[in-house]
Structure 1
């Protein structure tokens, strides 16, 4: 299946680099380009792409608000934020707005393409090392607003709470399996059930829920 991608970034060089790379991979096709959040919304409605790679900081409507509006209109494409992580304070907000993950502008272009494929497949699994950087990022800032754990975790078993806590700490399925003395397949099954029970979009959303419910603290 060919993945249809829309690039939204106000930096022409970023778009040009990805455009050239997409052209060399037959399983990925460039459906459209934009420079602002407002253009991203229009492109999402008109082109119905599989994935939108979206910058956060753009003139006018930023990527966070554009993502919030795009994901509020199902069937919505997967949105991946494109950011300079080390100095960007808005990654957590972008994930809350509905983004399936984020990419870092200094990543190798091939790694960015790999992330697009993962998101398009519906897994939206961000690498544990990147998840840890995300945790470190918003743990260093103001604590996120937390919802009462009893409201959101009523349907979650004790074992699933343990798994959610470890996901919140940035562990992979293999690391969770080792920590809880279970198989990797069982760990994966627990994560899948958590996604369903909590209505989470992906693994990164589980990290956010772990923080918001107080299972994990900065």
Structure 2
């Protein structure tokens, strides 16, 4: 996360009244300096930072006691990683949403974060402006992926990006279905919105999965965002 902020970020985002008023946030990172710097930046943005935790166990305990709106959770921590902590946190604070921050950029980590119960994925190398945007839009029951996640090659320690980076050719209807998937809609809802039968919609989804080389809605959205296939509204 680029926290050495320039003034354009501060003017464009930190003074913005659209930041959800008094969004109650818990910051979790084993690097104390980073956690405190991020907490200070979020406070400046108008969020109510309830505290910082420097271990997974402390994060779970604080979340259970404070019931924050959002937990900003680092993945890599000693003893217990952030994904294991996210699973436990979802049990003790079911109305809290978790935004994972990580050095990892491989799509597999996005899938893992989602499976753990996270609702957002934000790369640490992104800007604070991007983090603020994600935190103000994150909601339970979705996976909101920060745009910079696939802006550059994966960082050291992650799997290299798939060699097949060719954008598949989609039909107009396939693109419409993909954009709906990217917005978090399920197949039944997509069929209703597009005015097609459920079986027809499933056929389009299956064709999409084949063209993208994936096996699920989440993987399709991650791959599509990586290839720049999602419309700006869906992404």
TM-score under structure 2 normalisation? Answer: 0.56
Structure-2 change in CA distance of 1:21 and 1:38 (3 Å):
same
Q: How many residues align?
A: 171
Confirm or deny: 8 A CA contact 1:70 1:76 kept in the other structure. Answer: no
Query: Which residue matches 1:154?
Result: none
Structure-2 separation of matches of 1:64 and 1:50: 18
Query: Which residue matches 1:179?
Result: 172
Structure-2 change in CA distance of 1:196 and 1:107 (3 Å):
farther
Computing the radius of gyration from Cα coordinates, the structure with the larger value is 2
Structure-1 separation of matches of 2:181 and 2:86: 29
Task: Quote the offset at 1:32 in angstroms.
Answer: 1.4
2:22 counterpart of 1:2: yes
Task: Quote the offset at 1:181 in angstroms.
Answer: 8.3
1:126-145 alignment, distance < 5 Å: 126-127=145-146, 130=149
Aligned counterpart in structure 1 of residue 104 of structure 2, from 85, 94, 97 = 85
1:148-163 alignment, distance < 5 Å: none
1:1-218 alignment, distance < 5 Å: 1-26=21-46, 28-73=47-92, 75-86=94-105, 90-119=109-138, 124-127=143-146, 130=149, 179-180=172-173, 188=180, 191=183, 193-194=185-186, 211-213=214-216
Instruction: Look up the SS of the partner of 1:107 in the other structure.
Output: coil
Structure-2 change in CA distance of 1:134 and 1:48 (3 Å):
farther
Instruction: Look up the SS of the partner of 1:72 in the other structure.
Output: helix
Structure-1 separation of matches of 2:27 and 2:181: 33
Task: Quote the offset at 1:13 in angstroms.
Answer: 2.3
Flag structure 1 segments of 5+ consecutive residues without an equivalent. Answer: 142-169, 171-175, 198-209
Structure-2 change in CA distance of 1:181 and 1:102 (3 Å):
closer
Structure-1 separation of matches of 2:174 and 2:107: 37
Structure-2 change in CA distance of 1:87 and 1:123 (3 Å):
closer
Structure-2 change in CA distance of 1:182 and 1:57 (3 Å):
closer
Cα deviations by residue, 1:173-202 (Å, 9 ceiling, x for unpaired): xxx9x8328889xx55994541887xxxxx
Confirm or deny: 8 A CA contact 1:51 1:120 kept in the other structure. Answer: no
Structure-2 separation of matches of 1:52 and 1:134: 27
Task: Quote the offset at 1:74 in angstroms.
Answer: 5.4
Structure-2 separation of matches of 1:70 and 1:131: 27
